[in-house]
Structure formats: structure tokens, C-alpha cells
Chain A
Amino acid sequence: MARPLLRSSTFRLTLLYICLFSTSVSILFGFFYWSTLGFLSVQVDEALDIEVKGLEERYEVDGLNGLSRLIQERIKEQPPSASTIYLLTNSGYNRIVGNLNRWPSGQKDDAGFIDFVLEDTRFSPSPVIPARGREFELSSGYRLLVARGNKDLQSFRKRIVWTLGWGLGIMVLLSLIGSILMNRGMLKRIDSITATSESIVSGKLSQRIPTRGTGDDFDRLAEHLNHMLDQLESSLENVRRISDNIAHDLKTPLTRLRNRLETLHSKHFDSNEDLELATREADGLLATFNALLRIARIETDAKTEGFDLVNLSAVLDDVVELYEPLAEEKNQSIIITENKQSYVFGDQHLLFQAIANLLDNAVKYTPVDGEIRAFLKLDNQNVTIGISDSGPGIPENLRDKVLQRFYRLDSSRNQVGNGLGLSMVAAVCKLHSTQLCLTDAHPGLTISFTLPLSPMALGAKTETDNRTPVTP
């Protein structure tokens, strides 16, 4: 996956869910643990109680000797692994009979139970076993202790903890794996929506989000989005049709006006300066209108059908050749500092237009006797084409603004132009999925853009270049 997992909101939600779930499961397990153990110890207590009562009854019937005998029998009868402990002492806690050598130290609680630690000397090193016993004072000051080592309880507790621990671990692991898988599935759907919207943003308005036909949430979302896109597309189409109509409707009378002016001018021969100026004004209006419509068209259509393999170095040479005489009139020199043969995939005419606009600006803003540099640099898979002028440059905070339509720097207001030149270049760049880069040329301004080299270029290099100028 291209993105880090943690940044996916689904995954984060699942993580949160896993945390909450495992906390509640832990609480449940804890409750289970305590109640099971509690139940077990109550059972132990009851068993001890019953045994003590039985022994007490025997004492009352058979006296001390009977009791001692019974205890001895029980000790003998029980298998060595069993752990019932009997101890009968006199009032001074001296042992009379029993399988415990001395009275255990330990605090007796209100119900007569005592918790103590038992050392099994049969083994070495002797394991320490916690034990619980019931103490009973017989009528003549004799003391009776019946206790049980909690060895079983302890291993039982261990087993429960082990089981619950592993259970919890496996559960968390499984839900993590599940959430990653689920996340992947979700991301796939979301990625398809993202991919569609990206291609819509890049101008392919007819794209739609694919549905699975299962009618699930994502399908419903996709259907709604698609419906929205349908409406958006049709209203955009409307807007375009309207603007085309406006353009058509305004341009036609404007042309008629221009042609009438021409006719009028011709009737007055060369005499009327005003008429000629008026014709030029009309031409200017038409040119602005055309440029504006052209930019809009490049931006909204985002058509790449006209794209073909373009020899960018030849285009740069052609533009420089076209503008050289203009520069020479201002005694400027245009220097191609670097022009490596490179082919890109694009619209030759629009790229020519873009570079021509850049060079046009450079000639316009470079002072008399100044120098203009054009370059085409290769790096790895890309080619950067740019023009540096030695004019006043553009302050850094205004560099974005100059790409806007009709924006003109205060310093250039008295220059000819309609403020659409760079917007056109920006639109052409956008069509070629790149953007204009304005940097300082110390002094002046460097404007450049970068295009990926065409992978087909290798094949194209062997092709003879029909643009090679002929020598007279």
C-alpha cells in the first residue's frame, strides 16, 4: 500500500475499536477469573467446615483418643499427593497428632479461617504452598486445625490466567489482521473513488465511479456521486455552450464593426489616422477575446487527443529563430545556453505558443542591449525548458498573481499586451500536467516548466527530422 497504514482513518477507527473491545473483554475475563476463584475458595471453605464438624462430632462421642485415631486414619488413608492437613494440639499449641509439625503462624479471621504458608519438606528444595485452614477450639481447650494446600487452586489460577491471556492475545491479533484486510478492501473502494475524482479534476469530466452492483454503502455513495457528476457535467456543458454563444454573438458584430471601419477607412484612402486607430482597437479587442476563449478552451476541454511526439529542442530553436529579429531591434541577444535533443509527448502548436509567449515577454521586459537566455536541460526522465530575461524581474509575492488573467504588474502597465500571455502559458502547462516555475535570474526572471521525456523518444531519435532548416 502506498500510504502508511496508520494514516488510514478506517484503520485508526478499527484500532480504537480493538482497544475498547479488548478492554471490555479484559474486564469480563477479570470478572470471570475472580468469580471462579471465589467460588472455588468458598467450596474449599465449605469442605473444611464439614470436615471440622465431623471431627468435632467424633470428639464429642469418642473423646480425645477417638479423635486422634480418626485423624491418624485419615492421614494414612489419603494418598501422598493429597494435601489435607490435620493438626490437633493442646491448649499450649503443642502437637498431639497431625501431619503438620507446628501450629502455623497466621492471623485467624472472624469465621475461624486462617491463611498460612506451607513448606513441603518432602521435596527439596521445598516448594512453598499457600494453604487455608479452619481452626476450631474443642471444649477442653484442645485446638484442631484442618487445612488444605492451595496447590490445585494455584495451578488452576495459573491455567485460567494463561487461557485468558492467550485468548485475549489471539483475539487482538485476529482482529488486527481482520482490520487490515477490511481496511484494504475499504481503501480499494475509496482509492477507486479518489482515482476517478482525480481524473475528473484533470479534465476528464465524463469519468464515473465504478459500482459493484451489490447495492452496499459504497455503491450507494458512488451512485450519488455519479448522479451529482452527471448534473455537474450537464451544467458545465450548458455554461460552455452559453459562453460559446456569447463569444460567437459578440465576436461576429465586433468583426462586422471592424470590417465596416476597414471599408470606411479605404474610402478615405490613407488620410484618416483616427479610423486606422479605431480598426486597431477593434483588432485588439478581438485578439483579447480570442486569447480569452482559447485559454478557456484549453483549460476546460483538457483535450489530449492532439498530443503527439514533439521535438522540443526543434520547437525551442524555431521560437528563438522567430523572435531573434525582434530582439535585435532592441539590440538584445538571445542565447541558447543549452539545448539537448529531447522529445516529449504534447501539443506542438500549444508548446510553441507557450514558449513564444515567454520569449515575447522576455524581449518586452529586457532592457535595450540586454541579454536573454533560453535553455533546455535534461535530467533523468525530465526535460526543463526555460527563458531567463535580464529585466526587472517579478517580486516573489506577486509571482502567482501574474499567472492570473488580465493581471499586470504596475511597472508593465504602459507596455503593450493584454495581460493574457502568461495565463495562456499556464493553461498550456496545466494541459501538459505541469506547472510554471518562476525564479530569480539575478537580475531578471527565469520562467520554466518541466515535462517528462517521452519513452518513445528513443525510436524517434533515429527518425529523420524534417524540421532541419535547408541551406540556400
Chain B
Amino acid sequence: MYTHRNSISSTVAQSSEVTVSYIGRSQIPKPEATTMRILIIEDDQDTAEHIRRGLEECGNSVDHANNGVDGLAMAQSEDYGVIVVDRMLPGLEGLEVIRKLRETENHTPALILSALGDVDDRVKGLKAGGDDYLTKPFAFAELQARIEALGRRTEQDGTITEIEVGDLRLNRLTREVRRADKKINLQPREYRLLEYLMRNSGQVITRTMLLENVWDYHFDPQTNIIDVHVSRLRGKIDKDFDTPLLHTVRGAGYMLKP
């Protein structure tokens, strides 16, 4: 969705010395934690197959249900890391599946897939108990990044005060950022950006995920504005150091890792 890179590509290219290839399935660098059991509830055979193959190729085990009723039954009887649910399903609607699941105290992270792309629909999906929402069609990398973020969410401890990635340290109480004991001054938004990337280190974070989680807005930027912000942040945390931490994952997004 980020088409208009031309106008700013020069800057981005200069600062992105390191590019991790993350395109397609074969080259996907394995994030440290995971292989997961993933359930896909999707009636469109093609899409389901596309997702299944993609996820299996990165080492996950994938089950598939092609209607809401079967999907709900499977989700209740098996233990999955993440459930991917289409909204429009025969039998039982996607949102209903999640609602029923939540009623039985099952809190398996759920990602809603939908052809409806309104802010409103998104809000509805999240209200029904979904944990993330992705509009069809999507780049596979986007789906994968989000599934991994969801899979990790369950393991994450929100109360940690200090996050470390390599020699980069961020204190969530003092809001102080240091790399190799050198203090780094960040603008408020840069701090939030870095915090989010660090909390999800070792994972691919897409530009939309950044917009939604760091800026709190759900919108389609006309320009690849996120790249500019990330390249500024990169200038602050990577510029004077030998090993880059903030990597551009081409075709997908960014990853912070030592």
C-alpha cells in the first residue's frame, strides 16, 4: 500500500544500510519465539490455502475450518496460539464466533479478516472481542507480522520497566533511552515508536501496525510518511554505532533486533 516512495526514497535509502529480505516465505527470518498452532476459519478456499501454506512454511502448524460452526468447535476443543477469523462466514458469522468463544472464557488471540474496511467495522470487530483487524486483501507479510505479534502478546509481561535490545536500553519509568551507556534524546513520538519496536523486538512490524499503535490513528497515508519517522529514529539510535539495530524489512516493514 506504500506506493509513493519515489519522492523520499533518497533519504530512506541513505539511512537504511541494512535491509533484511523478508519477502515471500522462503527467506523469512525466523523470529526467536515461535512455532505456533494457528486456526484459520475462512470459507474462501484460495485465501485459506494461501495463508496456510505461508504460515506452515515458517514453521507453524495450521488447522483450517471452512465455516463458523466447525471453526468454533475446533477453537473450543483445541489449544491454539492464534485464531484467524474471516468476518463473512457461512453458518456462523465471524464476529459471532469470537463472541461465543469469549463467552466461554476462551481468550485465544483472534485476528479478524474482512473485506469490509471501514473504521466502523474495525471498531465493531475489536468490540466483539477480536484482538486485531486486517482488511482483505492484505500482503502476506502484514498478516504474518500481526499473527506473530498476537502470538507473543500472551507471553508478554506488560509490567516490565526496562526493555533491552542488544546494548539499547529503555526505561519505561524514567523514559530514558541509552545505547552503550550513551544517553539518547528522543522526541515524545520517537520515544513511543522506539518503545513499541523494542517491545516487539525480533519481530516484523508493518507500517500500518506502527500507525495504529504509535499514532493511534487508523488511516491510509498518501505518502510513505512512517518511513520518514523511522529513518529519523534510526539516525538517533544507529548513526554513531557500528551494529545497526533498526532494520528495514523490505516489502513488509521494520524490525528491531540486535
Q: Say yes or no: A290 contacts B215, CB within 8 Å.
A: no
Alpha-carbon distance A264/B251, docked complex (angstroms): 12
Q: Say yes or no: B21 contacts A259, CB within 8 Å.
A: no
Q: Say yes or no: A472 contacts B176, CB within 8 Å.
A: yes
Tell me the A452-472 residues at the B interface (CB within 8 Å). 467, 469-472
Which residues of chain B come closer than 8 Å to A363, judged between CB atoms?
223
Shortest Cβ distance from B192 into A: residue? A470
A353 within 8 A of B: yes
B3 within 8 A of A: yes
Q: Say yes or no: A252 contacts B219, CB within 8 Å.
A: no
> Contacting chain B: which of A12-20, A82-90, A316-324, A392-400?
A316-324
Within 8 Å by CB of B119, from A251, A291, A350, lies: A350
For A316-351 the 0/1 string (1 means CB < 8 A from B) is 001001110110010000000000000000011110
Q: Say yes or no: B3 contacts A280, CB within 8 Å.
A: yes
> Contacting chain A: which of B24-32, B69-77, B90-98, B198-206?
B24-32
Alpha-carbon distance A45/B117, docked complex (angstroms): 100
Which residues of chain B come closer than 8 Å to A442, judged between CB atoms?
none
Which residues of chain B come closer than 8 Å to A364, judged between CB atoms?
223
Q: Say yes or no: A294 contacts B220, CB within 8 Å.
A: yes
Within 8 Å by CB of B46, from A252, A294, A297, A469, lies: A252
> Contacting chain B: which of A98-106, A228-236, A299-307?
A299-307
Q: Say yes or no: B222 contacts A360, CB within 8 Å.
A: yes
A407 to chain B, nearest CB (A): 15
> Contacting chain A: which of B104-112, B132-140, B148-156, B237-245?
B132-140
Known: A329-B8, A469-B188, A472-B185. A352 touches B137 (CB 8 A): no
Q: Say yes or no: B11 contacts A262, CB within 8 Å.
A: no
A24 within 8 A of B: no
Q: Say yes or no: A287 contacts B228, CB within 8 Å.
A: no
A441 to chain B, nearest CB (A): 21
Which residues of chain B come closer than 8 Å to A270, judged between CB atoms?
19, 21, 250
A279 within 8 A of B: yes
Q: Say yes or no: A417 contacts B24, CB within 8 Å.
A: no
A266 within 8 A of B: yes
A413 within 8 A of B: no
Which residues of chain B come closer than 8 Å to A202, judged between CB atoms?
none
Q: Say yes or no: B228 contacts A326, CB within 8 Å.
A: yes
Alpha-carbon distance A469/B117, docked complex (angstroms): 29
Q: Say yes or no: B175 contacts A306, CB within 8 Å.
A: no
Alpha-carbon distance A329/B219, docked complex (angstroms): 22
Which residues of chain A come closer than 8 Å to B220, judged between CB atoms?
287, 290-291, 294, 353
Shortest Cβ distance from A469 into B: residue? B188
Q: Say yes or no: A323 contacts B137, CB within 8 Å.
A: no
Which residues of chain A come closer than 8 Å to B138, judged between CB atoms?
255
Tell me the B1-48 residues at the A interface (CB within 8 Å). 1-8, 11, 19, 21, 23-27, 44, 46-47
Within 8 Å by CB of A279, from B175, B219, B251, lies: B251
Tell me the A265-291 residues at the B interface (CB within 8 Å). 265-267, 269-270, 279-280, 283-284, 286-287, 290-291
Q: Say yes or no: B223 contacts A360, CB within 8 Å.
A: yes
A385 within 8 A of B: no
Which residues of chain A come closer than 8 Å to B23, judged between CB atoms?
262-263, 265-266
Apart from A251-B137, A266-B24, A287-B1, list 5 A-B contacts with CB within 8 A.
A263-B25, A283-B1, A290-B220, A326-B8, A352-B217
8 smallest CB-CB distances across A and B, nearest first, come from A255-B137, A263-B24, A266-B23, A469-B188, A266-B24, A284-B3, A416-B4, A353-B219
Which residues of chain A have a CB within 8 Å of any CB of chain B? 244, 247-248, 251-252, 254-256, 258-259, 262-267, 269-270, 279-280, 283-284, 286-287, 290-291, 293-294, 297, 301, 303, 305-306, 318, 321-323, 325-326, 329, 347-350, 352-353, 356-357, 360, 363-364, 416-417, 421, 467, 469-472
Q: Can you list 7 A-B pairs, Cβ within 8 angstroms, ordered by A?
A: A259-B24, A263-B23, A293-B117, A303-B120, A306-B118, A349-B219, A353-B217
